[in-house]
Every structure is written in C-alpha cells, then in structure tokens.
Amino acid sequence: MTTGAAGSASEPDVAWKLEVLAPWRQRHSWVLDRQIAIAETAAPTGHESERAALLQQQLRSGGCTTVSQDTVGNVIAHIGAGGAHQTGAVQFCAARTGAARTATAPTAAPLVCMAHLDTVFAHDATLRAVRTGARVQCPGIGDNSRGLAAMIALAHTLHHPAVQARLTRPVELVATVGEEGEGNLRGARAYFDAAEQEGRDTYAAIAIDGPGDRAIVHHAVGSCRMRIHLHGHGGHSWANAGTPNPVHAAGALIASLAQLADRERPHAVVTVSRMSGGELLTSIPRDAWIDVDIRAIDQTRVAHLERSILQLAQRIATEESRHKPALALHVRTESLGERPAGHLAASHPLVREAVRATERAGRVPQAASASTDANVPLSRGIPAIAIGAGGTGGDAHSLNEWFDDEGSEVGLVRLIDLVTTIACSPAFV
C-alpha cells in the first residue's frame, strides 16, 4: 500500500506525541480489564442498554463531561477543541466529489470515532472470560469489546493536557447500536441522519472495529439481505401428489444460488444463510423461505444480483408449478436490511495518514474491505475508514471467540496516533 507525498500536518511534533503515546505502551492490563468487563456485559442487537450504561460511566471517568444518549441509544461523548492553535482554515477532500470542505475554528466540524456496542449473541449467552496468559476466550471479546475499550483509552488521551492544548477541532466518540446483522447499521444511520437534519458537518469518521494493527478498511462492502418466501396450496403427500411444492422450489433455488455464487466470486458473495419450510411429515408444504445475503464492493453489482435472484426465484417457482398452473406457487420477498457500498481512494489524505500511523507503529499497512459503521458516512460523501484496535483474535461471531493481548499496544498506539494527528493539526490536508 503506497501513498503520495506527506503534507506538513503529517509530521507530528515528536516531543508531545511521545508524551501522549508512551503510557499506552505499558497499559496492557488496564485496557484488557475494561475490554473484559465490556465483553461480560450482554448487548444483543437491539438490547444494548446495559453495555451503553457501562460505556457512559467509563467515558465520564475518562474526562468526558458531555456524554449523552440519542433517541436510538447511541452513546455520544463530545470533546471540544479549546487549544491554542485554532487559527486558519482546515481543509479535507470529500470522499466522492473531491471538493474541499472548509471549516474554521472554533466551529470546526468534528472528527467522529465510532465503535459498535452490540453483539450477535443472545441475552442468555454465557459471557464469562477465561484467561490463559495473554489469551482471553469470551464471546464478543474482540468484536467489538476491543474497539470499545480503545474508545475509552481515546477518551483519556483526548483529555491529556498536551492534547487539549493542541486540539484544533472537536472529536465525537460515538458508541453505536445496531451495527451487527439485522441491526442494519441503525445507530450509525441515526447519528449521521441527525447531523444532516441539524446542518452539522462531519470532517471525517473512523470506525474502531475489533483487533488488528495493519489493516486499513477504505473499501466499504455493500450488501442486500432478503428473505424469499414461496407459498403454495399444500395438500396430502399421496392424495395431492403433483401439487407444486415450495420446499422443492426452495431446494432448486438454493442449488442455483450456489452456482451463481461460484460464478460471482471474487467480485461478489452470495450466501444462503438460513432456510425453513413445511408443516407436517406427511403433507406437501404450503410455505418455505430462504434468507440470502448478497455482498459486493460495487453497489451496482449488489443491485444487479438482487434483481437477478428475484427473477431466478420466479422462474423456479413457475417451473415447479408447470404441471398444475392453477395451483402455482407465489413468490414474495422481504427486505432484511441493506448496507451501502463506498470507496475512499488510497491517495485520500485520511487513508494516507492512516498508512503513516501504521508505519510509525512499526507495521506494514494493508488495504482491506469490510462492512462496518464506516459504510454509512462513506456512502454520504464523508471521508471514512475502519481500523482495528490492537491485538489479534479469531472465531468472531462464535461462542469460541478469542483475543490475544500479546503486542496489543501496537494497534492501540496506532489508533491514538492517527486520531490525535488529525484532531491536533491546524493545517491537515
């Protein structure tokens, strides 16, 4: 991953940066303790209030005096810019248009740092962390307890006197609800909807999601999630033999989608993730349904695949009904969510600065694509990326999820370096 020439704002004042970053190289246990406390607090999508309360308390302990919740449950901490360097115009290129957006302190647009509160696990899931050396096993320990713990560390850092003296723009820390699965990025959408309605600009956004210290996500994977219903008349499996069978049609559709998925890779992913149907062992079913998850970096491809799959479902239903067209199967679709795709060029200043922060941390930066809260601002022309918050992990979205804290300070320092560089540079370009 390469970048263009560095601007003057990309060379941090080494002395004050060392003062700010040095403590975090030693505070493994402090960060991990908070990460574990978060992981052991249930937060299923749509039921994040208990974890939200914990985050509010931790952000206030970090020095945030303006902490609130919005109408959907996002926790928002506002850290104002009151430093001595708030002079002159600050410019940042918009993600899509390339147009310069200009803000002059003290009304500078904020840098927004997001980390999602919710998990994929049910409220009654066993959330007990088991530590073995530097390794911790617990559902949600990485995704996204690590990101939330890093947000707490950011709150403390942004109230450091050396940072406060240099802040040129506000920073908003936003712990979002509804990022996972059927949450459909609800919290991020609500936050940026409100900003748009109130006429508040956003300078840039950084989603803090899970472990990691190398990847820079600046390709937002778009998606369409839908349920395809097949409905028929049903009947006795012997007496009404030949009646169109929605389960048979669903099986044929799944087989066809598997072939479609093979053809589309690597440009897109098509996954049948859930299925159900039928009522009795000895009857022709009346109903069947399948859930389909379509993903691609190109939003046009997502839309094209959605149309193609619906046409395919109708053709298969018609074929299944060919012997008894009077009892033809009916196809109905239900939207389960969509995520907008987006892209930020590798040459964009936000990506370039993330690359430099990664290199300053001693890691080789890697371009990446993913579906995160950053999809929302990117799709609205706001520069946005997603990065990890240090350490390594695996088995995300499973009860066996684990996190290894060895070397985790590298990713945390990278994040803090990036945020403070952007927030404290009066001429960041």
Residues 328-359: tens digit of each pLDDT: 999 999 999 999 999 999 999 999 999 999 99
Boundaries of CATH 3.30.70.360 in the chain? 228-339
The whole model's pTM is what? 0.89
pLDDT(87) > 60? no
Q: Mind spelling out the 3-state secondary structure of the chain?
A: CCCCCCCHHHCCCHHHHHHHHHHHHCCHHHHHHHHHHHHCCCCECCCCHHHHHHHHHHHHHCCCCCEEECCCCCEEEEECCCCCCCCCEEEEECCCCCCEEEEECCCCCCEEEEEECCECCCCCCCCCCEEECCEEECCCCCCCHHHHHHHHHHHHHHCCHHHHCCCCCCEEEEEECCCCHHHCCHHHHHHHHHHHHCCCCCCEEEEECCCCCCEEEEEECEEEEEEEEEECCCEECCCCCCCCCHHHHHHHHHHHHHHHHHHHCCCEEEEEEEEEECCCCCEECCEEEEEEEEEECCHHHHHHHHHHHHHHHHHHHHHHCCCCHHHCCEEEEEEEEEECCEECCCCCHHHHHHHHHHHHCCCCCEEEEECCCCHHHHHCCCCEEEECCCCEEECCCCCCCEEECCCCHHHHHHHHHHHHHHHCCCCCC
The structure tokens 């996972």 sit at 180
What are the strands of the beta sheet with 392-394, ordered from one edge? 130-132, 135-137, 402-404, 392-394
Boundaries of CATH 3.40.630.10 in the chain? 8-221+341-423
pLDDT of residue 426: 73
pLDDT of residue 1: 55
Q: What is the mean pLDDT of residues 374-396?
A: 97
In CATH, the number for domain 8-221+341-423 is: 3.40.630.10
Q: What is the mean pLDDT of residues 114-142?
A: 97
What integer best gives the mean pLDDT of the chain?
91
Q: What is the mean pLDDT of residues 275-289?
A: 97
pLDDT(369) > 50? yes
pLDDT of residue 428: 60
pLDDT(42) > 70? yes
pLDDT(97) > 50? no
pLDDT of residue 14: 79
In CATH, the number for domain 228-339 is: 3.30.70.360
Q: Read off the pLDDT of residues 21-38 as tens digits, 9 standing for 90 and up.
A: 999 999 999 999 999 999
Q: In angstroms, rounded to a whole number, what is the distance separating the alpha carbons of residues 352 and 101? A: 18
The two structure tokens encoding residue 158: 């942004």
Q: Read off the pLDDT of residues 47-79 as tens digits, 9 standing for 90 and up.
A: 999 999 999 999 999 999 999 999 999 999 999
pLDDT(4) > 70? no
